[in-house]
Structure 1
Amino acid sequence: MQFGEILDGSFQTIRRNAAAMFGSALIVQATGAVLIGIASVGMLQLSMSVESINSEADFAEFMGPFVAIMASALGVSVLLGFLGAVLQGVMVVPVSRSVLNRRTGFKLMWKLAGRRIWPLLGVAALLTLCGLLSAAALIGIAILLFTGMGPGAFLIVMPLGLGAVVLFVWIGLKLMLAPAAIVVERTGVYDGLLRSWQLTKNNWWRIFGITLVVTIMVGIIAQIVQIPVSLAAGAIEAVVTPHPDPDSVSSTLILTTVISTAIAALVGSVTFAFQTSVSALLYMDLRMRRDGLDVELLRLMETGADPDGIPGGPSTLPANNAWPPAGGQFPSAPPGTRPSA
């Protein structure tokens, strides 16, 4: 598949399976939006008391809730990352079925993906934990360097941080397809990670380019949507509080925060579903290039076999073939006459 075909396929998949993909993404994004909204409202209310700090005791009393709110916001971000990794594996179900023009409802998607939920939770937890430990190690090294060397440590910390970001992106893309492999190919956590590493071999730059372009696209779209929201928030503030006082300003900020958070959840669910669909199609594309999956998909389309299954899984192969076949090579064509392209 070419880049344009992947983008078009992602839009078509979301349109045909809106309840499954958009609905699932909206649940996760709405949960995160509610938690982030609560933290934001708490931070707004806390910021109102900054001017009243006049002593060390007041500062210590202020820092307690401040640290708690910041820790809560970090926890929400980690939770969203964890749920996003799980949902990435779940959403590969409607994407793979859409390749054969098969619709997937919300219930069927979770029924098929639910059989692989424990390995999905395992790989999501492993990736999240590794990311947290890596970030903590980098921050710890930076603190030690600044403590021992002073401002001069910046000359070491800056290239070290840039190198860590490059390494994180490289490894992240190499393991990006693990949730999809776990669900479609029914592998375990370790085999799913290994499978993703193998599929992305010699294709890293192509995956990086497509992922980068898609990320920039959804980022621009999200910013465009947020512009009228910001303008509307300013208009509401001008109308509701023409003569601002502390109580009315606080109420208006809470109202505009709730509205902007709700809209951000809607936009985030659409962009997340689109990015996940692109990732799943990249997985299917690499399977076609390396395993001859396109031939198997043609067989399934011609025979209509396994109408309620996940295309590309072990159940789609002929019964006399092992998964994978001996020697690690997949059959170039199923038994019988090869269907015309």
Structure 2
Amino acid sequence: MSTFRVGPMKFGEVLDATFRIYRKQFLPFFLLGLLFVLPSQFVMDWFYTQIQIKAEYMAMTNSFTGVTSLIGGILSGLLLMMILYPLFWAAVTEGTRRQLLENERTTFKELIQSIPKIAGKSILTNILYCLFFGLVIFFIAVLIAATMVLISIIFGAGDIGSDQTIGFVMGALFLFFVLPILFFTISFFIIRFCLYIPVIVNERNGYIKALQRSWVLTRWSFWRTFGLVLLVSIVAGIIEVVPMGVSQVLAFSMTGDEAIYLPTYLLLLITLLSGILISLTASLLPTLYTVIYFDRRARREGMDLEWALLSPKEGSEERE
């Protein structure tokens, strides 16, 4: 029998289950992070650091040489992330499922072996998810730009306002209108689609069906899920942001008009260590999403009652 309570959970119980599973499965989850998270994170951080250094160089020399290749590196990192991250999340989801429902600790090898069954669906669904987000952000950006232009025209017409007035209005609008809308819109869709990987792993539904299923499961639970995700993200972010910030500070320092950069091997080492530290907590969110998935199924569909009638073996066979 599972040591976790399989059924509707309170807010604190979801957090408790998440961190307990994270602790029990720490080693295989961390190894998965090194295999799937570290490569894409390393590429992203490295090229981002290079862009930061290049920006300082361009400010002093007005030279744009090599900018295209750096942007290409960032895009390559994003593509790598779109491929590797869903595989990592799927493996962590499988490990969390076994620990939560069957009290079964999984090894790194077992988690790797579970990936091929859902690799294609996970990657393609993640790409579909990213494309949808791209469209949402593009649509919001167009609306924001149109609003800014309209306000600029209104306040700039005739002698209605000065440049200072326009700048003040633009700043206030961006701070109190644009940023909140952007934040809550992105947060809304992230929460409503956050369960698509658990759906793929546990129900073998992929693509649009997985996104639709996640949308249904998170219905009437947005703020609760948002609070859970926010708290866990803060915990993970404290560990992730600190090394990233340190790496950026150490990447280069300014003395007068001259930039003093660290040697390339030190930059590589700092970027590598930053990626390793990020891999430590990378499994927290997929673990949380899996716990939320089973909590939502228990609340909406009585999955806990169904599971209670089945032995772990029968439950696993039915899932297949």
For the superposition of Structure 1 and Structure 2, which TM-score range results when normalised by the shorter chain?
0.7 to 0.9
Q: Any idea what the Cα deviations from partners look like across 1:14-70, whole Å, max 9, x if unmatched?
A: 3433443222222222212331344146436635744763xxxxx4xx335224424
Instruction: Say whether the 8 Å CA contact 2:33–2:280 is kept in structure 1.
Output: yes
Q: Percent identity of the aligned residues? A: 20
1:6 deviates by 2.7
The aligned counterpart of 1:163 is 181
Task: Name the CA distance, whole Å, in 1 between partners of 2:127 and 2:48.
Answer: 26
Task: Name the CA distance, whole Å, in 2 between partners of 1:282 and 1:294.
Answer: 13
SS of alignment partner, residue 305 of structure 1: helix
Task: Name the CA distance, whole Å, in 2 between partners of 1:197 and 1:50.
Answer: 46
Equivalent of residue 271 in structure 1, options 281, 290, 294? 281
The aligned counterpart of 2:132 is 130
The aligned counterpart of 1:121 is 123
1:187 deviates by 1.4
Most deviating of 282-291 and 32-41? 32-41
- Report how many aligned residue pairs link the two structures: 294
The aligned counterpart of 2:160 is none
SS of alignment partner, residue 114 of structure 1: coil
Task: Name the CA distance, whole Å, in 2 between partners of 1:304 and 1:103.
Answer: 14
Structure with higher RCO (Cα < 8 A, 6+ apart): 2
Task: Name the CA distance, whole Å, in 2 between partners of 1:17 and 1:217.
Answer: 18
The aligned counterpart of 1:84 is 85
Task: Name the CA distance, whole Å, in 1 between partners of 2:186 and 2:35.
Answer: 28
Equivalent of residue 261 in structure 1, options 271, 282, 299? 271
Task: Name the CA distance, whole Å, in 2 between partners of 1:75 and 1:149.
Answer: 37
SS of alignment partner, residue 220 of structure 2: coil
The aligned counterpart of 1:287 is 297
Task: Name the CA distance, whole Å, in 2 between partners of 1:226 and 1:260.
Answer: 9
Task: Name the CA distance, whole Å, in 2 between partners of 1:133 and 1:171.
Answer: 12
Aligned pairs (5 A) from 1:1-341:
1-40=9-48, 42-43=50-51, 46=54, 49-50=57-58, 53=61, 59=62, 62-77=63-78, 79-80=80-81, 83-99=84-100, 100-144=102-146, 146=148, 150=152, 151=166, 154=170, 159-223=177-241, 249-252=260-263, 254-300=264-310, 303-306=311-314, 309=316, 314-315=319-320
- TM-score, with structure 2 as normaliser: 0.75
Q: CA 1:260–1:194 in 2, change beyond 3 Å: closer, same or farther?
A: same
Instruction: Say whether the 8 Å CA contact 2:11–2:224 is kept in structure 1.
Output: no
Q: CA 1:168–1:85 in 2, change beyond 3 Å: closer, same or farther?
A: farther
Instruction: Say whether the 8 Å CA contact 1:20–1:105 is kept in structure 2.
Output: yes
One-letter amino acid of the structure 2 residue matched with residue 94 of structure 1 = G
State the structure with more CA Rg: 1
SS of alignment partner, residue 202 of structure 1: coil
Instruction: Say whether the 8 Å CA contact 2:86–2:197 is kept in structure 1.
Output: yes
RMSD: 3.7
SS of alignment partner, residue 104 of structure 2: coil
Instruction: Say whether the 8 Å CA contact 2:18–2:291 is kept in structure 1.
Output: yes
- TM-score, with structure 1 as normaliser: 0.71
Task: Name the CA distance, whole Å, in 2 between partners of 1:134 and 1:78.
Answer: 19
Most deviating of 179-188 and 104-113? 104-113
Task: Name the CA distance, whole Å, in 1 between partners of 2:79 and 2:71.
Answer: 12
1:208 deviates by 0.7
One-letter amino acid of the structure 2 residue matched with residue 287 of structure 1 = R
One-letter amino acid of the structure 1 residue matched with residue 116 of structure 2 = G
Q: CA 1:168–1:306 in 2, change beyond 3 Å: closer, same or farther?
A: same
1:171 deviates by 1.7
1:138 deviates by 3.2
1:149 deviates by 5.3
1:207 deviates by 0.5
Instruction: Say whether the 8 Å CA contact 2:28–2:107 is kept in structure 1.
Output: yes
Instruction: Say whether the 8 Å CA contact 2:233–2:285 is kept in structure 1.
Output: yes
Q: CA 1:119–1:226 in 2, change beyond 3 Å: closer, same or farther?
A: closer
Most deviating of 14-23 and 170-179? 14-23
Instruction: Say whether the 8 Å CA contact 2:87–2:115 is kept in structure 1.
Output: no
